[in-house]
Structure 1
Amino acid sequence: MKSQILATAAFLTFISLNQTAQAANPEHVRQLLASKQCQNCDLTGAGLVIADLSGANLSGANLAGANLSRANLSGSDLRGANLSGAGLFGANLSNANLIGATLLGADFRNTYLVNAQLNGVSLNNVNLQGAIGIPSQIATHEEFYAWGVAEAQKGNQQQAIDYFNQAIAIKSDYAGAYLARGVVRYQIFDRQGAFQDAQVAEKLFTSQNNSTGIQTAQAFIQELQAPPPDAKVKPAKPNLVDFVGSIGSLLLQFLSF
């Protein structure tokens, strides 16, 4: 994951340096903002932050290096568009058609991809961290798991659970994902859900002869079976760090299981 992030950063730097002399066609930018019709337009490096481009026709457009952060692209037609190195942080791409688009090095962090059409699109070196609605078929179970761990470390528990759910949907015997989901459920005070996940993780780790996983799952189960704190005393937010060390370093051990 680290190498993927570094590679993406290097690519984005390369794109930025090589496009400093290039700029979007100003007439095309005006046309897009006025009519939302800009098929095959040259929008290289265009600044379109927070632009309302819902339903826009951008098929075949060159948006390489464009800044579309937090833009509304819901329902837009981006078929065959070039989005290499484009910044789409927080953009709304729900129901957008991206079939045939080039996304190499694009920043899709925190984007909304619910019902987006991405069939056959290469996502190599695309940063999807925090994206919502990623279709299961376009990422591996390891990627969903790693994204879940990252969200858990940032305190985004529900997003983390969603990623772990997707990892498990792809690989039903992914013990690490069950354990990680249990940890996050524990952190949001869902002790029953955490206990169920921990038990499944222990069984799977046992069947896979993973001694580290077995020991970790058992330690977690012991913690969950401990008597709850006095109801009159407001409990501190439970944290796996208390008995198995750093959550990040622990859970990243299970990327390949």
Structure 2
Amino acid sequence: MKNILFAATTLSIISLSISTQAENLSDLNQLLATKNCSQCDLTNSGLVMADLSGGNLSGANLVNANLSQANLSGIDLSGANLTGASLYGANLTGANLTGANLAGTDLRNAYLTNTNLTDVDLSTAHIEGTKGISTSAGTPEQFYRWAVRETERGNFRAAVEHYNRAINIDPEFAPAYLGIGLIEYGFDNRVKAQEKAEIAANLFKKQDNKLGYETSQDFLHKMKLIETLEAENAKKEQGSGNFGKFIGGLGSLMLRLLL
């Protein structure tokens, strides 16, 4: 009797598993054939470089799906669950991601021009190298953190773009001005560097941010010191070296400016 019960239970489990797999495969086939699969279960689906442009995946379950380098332009992904999914290098131009779950989603190097990210939380998504992201996609603090990450990776152009987005949202967001100033100085654009650092210092002072104000003033002081040393043609190498150490040390302070 026990053997019969065990066999029956095993067959039921196998049958259920096969049924579930078939339903998932059916959803995948429907998507590939029509580009329309609203509310479908596409968990762990492999859709690398798939052309799903203009399709409808609203409310779909795409947890851990691989959509790397897929063409998703104009697609409707509103309300979709993209937790842990890879959209690395994907084209999301004009896509609708309203209310989508992007927890831990890999958006690195994705194209996000005119992408609707309303009610989307990108705080745990990986957005390094994304192109065309809207200012509505995050807060000044988020864009600032992303800028610091890009700076650490040596992607200075992307970093400046994120700093500018933070400023566009909040014109008095002092840390972003200081971040731009550091990058400008690194490219020997000293006039712009001083201008941004002075704006940052004034804003930090106005906002009673002692750490930010002192950091900005230290930056301005060292710029002036190096100019003086260069003008005198004395200790040029030593001065530059000290500034390099200052820049390196300042990097560790950047995120603390938000505290």
Which string of whole-angstrom CA distances, capped at 9 and with x for unpartnered residues, describes residues 144-178 of structure 1?
11110110111100100011111122222222111
CA contact (8 A) 1:241 1:247 kept: no
Which string of whole-angstrom CA distances, capped at 9 and with x for unpartnered residues, describes residues 86-125 of structure 1?
2222222120011243333323333222211122334464
TM-score, normalisation: structure 2: 0.76
Which string of whole-angstrom CA distances, capped at 9 and with x for unpartnered residues, describes residues 9-30 of structure 1?
xxxxxxxxxxxxx868234333
Which residue pairs with 1:57 in the alignment? 56
Superposed, which structure 2 residues align to 1:1-257 within 5 Å? 25-123=24-122, 125-225=124-224, 226-227=226-227, 241-256=244-259
- Higher RCO (C-alpha under 8 Å, 6+ residues apart): 1
Q: Which runs of 5+ in 1 are unaligned?
A: 1-21
The count of corresponding residues between Structure 1 and Structure 2 is 230
What is the root-mean-square deviation of aligned Cα atoms in Å? Answer: 2.9
CA contact (8 A) 2:211 2:257 kept: no
TM-score, normalisation: structure 1: 0.77
Query: Whose radius of gyration is greater, 1 or 2?
Result: 2
Q: Which runs of 5+ in 2 are unaligned?
A: 1-19
For 2:80 and 2:121, how far apart are their aligned partners in 1?
A: 13
For 1:243 and 1:84, how far apart are their aligned partners in 2?
A: 40
Runs of 4+ more than 4 Å apart: none
Compare the two structures and name the one with the higher helix fraction: 2
Deviates more, 1:134-143 or 1:27-36: 27-36
For 2:72 and 2:198, how far apart are their aligned partners in 1?
A: 43
Deviates more, 1:207-216 or 1:63-72: 207-216
